[in-house]
Chain A
């Protein structure tokens, strides 16, 4: 183990090309990680108790290991004034793939989760159509379906980082209104064609069957393009908190338009100007004007490990990993910096990343114990580049909290503490 290997540092402060890890094997990693001391394990190995007695049998619905019980959503407290309203956030820093398990998909409700009996639920298409139609859940189950993996991000995700000071919180608290699942359902275009959209139609207005009857408007062109009425989430019937028995799913666009518990699509000449597309989810600009209907979510990435409130326990090699996504297409490139943006290296993006879905990126990093600022920067297939925080902030009123996609900075102290910072 005397042999000295000089890894190819591809950017400042310890970023290493991934091929050096893949080709080196453990011995190589150990050498690169010189400086970290690994204590020898000199005791005899013994056979553990669980290898000596039969375990539990099968169950009708699985659950995580008791030792992984901390992998949970970050749920906010109940609202005192608006019953059922609130959010829970996906624990991005505790997940390592691209698919969000159904129990960990983020939630945003405006008046709680309705307990819908699918046999009594009705989905109506009306307005500017030749024949208004009412569909039962059973009706929709009989239609041809499509399955596609898509991310879903709340318009207010990461809004915490638009605040005046950086909050000392973790990746879930800041960025956890983001999830990714395989959604299966019926193309909305199929049903709109059956109802017969008339020539004057330009928009659809959609409402849910929750107590708030949450409503949103969507241009007809998008409705006829890739919107589905989702019935399944990662293969099982969608969860009540995701809109059981059916939700609109609008790929790439702010989560709020994917109306849950879908009960009404009214085809119209113009938007409905609902409360959640005028009072909320609009972007206040420096001059007091507001952008309305800013639907696609911007090119964005976040390092999920190491990330806020984590603690590096040793010097040496760490895998920097995170997720990237864009509502304008697929992710073409993710760059990582360990020196606050002075130098950048291309991260490895896992193969198989899909259009409008999360991409997983990885890059090895040799932490020497020096202070570091870790950042990631996404570029999408439409050549949108994730902006620095100060660039994004300059484009909006300081009060705007929606559609934030600035670069996340995590500082690493000499003690290995990882913190959310503005850099």
Chain B
């Protein structure tokens, strides 16, 4: 069924192309969008699939967590690699402490990352490395709060949720220069 439908669509596209060419358009330029496949869907269908959380926090899920709650989750699921207090270990980066101006610089979540949203986004999509996407949204809020607490950014009882997270002020938030406007496409 599916194949038959596809072949039919391709045939339509091919005849449209031929018709366009016969009508005398520029043969060197293919007609715009002669094929239009793909299935329409709605944003609602992507609710559990779209994990992108930017600094505006628009796509943050329901749920909340505090550093006090996150400590136990951290010890169970993170400390083996990142250290008991986020100090890092061989093969795993430090999460707290450090400075961009030290010699050598130590770039951590606390000292370097400009947006708290990045921490939530990354932990949810990629951590822990042995079982990405195994954490619940509540656990991700709790862990985000705990790591930020380790660096002194949040108090232990600060409730992190979709409303409070975008307002968190990271220490190095003014440290980045966006040079994307300088890109050349010549």
Which A residues form the contact surface with B (CB < 8 A)? 79-83, 85, 110-111, 124-126, 131-135, 138-140, 142-144, 190-191, 193-194, 205, 207, 211-215, 219, 221-222, 225-226, 253, 264, 266, 268, 270-275, 278-279, 282, 284, 288-296, 328-329, 381-382, 397-399
Contacts and interface: CB of A to CB of B under 8 A. Distances in A.
5 contacts: A132-B43, A140-B37, A142-B6, A292-B178, A328-B186
Contacts of B184: 296, 328-329, 382
Contacts of A143: 35, 37
B38 A135 contact: yes
Contacts of A133: 38-41
A290 B91 contact: no
Contacts of A271: 54, 180
A85 B81 CA distance: 15
Interface in B77-124: 81, 89-92, 100-101, 104-105, 107, 109, 112-115, 117-118, 121-122
Contacts of A132: 40-43, 46
Contacts of B43: 126, 132
B143 to A, nearest CB: 14
5 tightest A-B CB contacts, nearest first: A293-B180, A133-B38, A275-B122, A139-B37, A81-B91
Interface string B129-168: 1101100000000000000000000000000000000000
Contact of A142 (B37, B176, B183): B37
Contacts of B6: 138, 142
Contacts of B38: 125, 133-135, 139, 191, 194
Contacts of B35: 142-144
A79 B40 contact: no
A293 B109 CA distance: 19
Contacts, number: 178
A253 B89 CA distance: 32
B173 to A, nearest CB: 11
Interface range on chain B: under 10, 10 to 19, 20 to 34, or 35 or more? 35 or more
Nearest to A400: B105
Contact of A296 (B37, B104, B121, B183): B183
B177 interface: yes
Nearest to A205: B52
Contact of A282 (B50, B51, B104, B176): B176
Given A144-B34, A284-B107, A219 B41 contact: no
A274 B121 contact: yes
B50 A126 contact: yes
B183 to A, nearest CB: 5
Contacts of A126: 41, 43, 46, 50
Given A139-B37, A194-B33, A292-B179, A279 B185 contact: no
A295 B184 CA distance: 9
B121 A399 contact: no
B170 to A, nearest CB: 10
B126 interface: yes
Contact of A135 (B37, B52, B90): B37
Contact of A273 (B105, B117, B185): B117
A403 B42 CA distance: 39
Contacts of B112: 278-279, 290
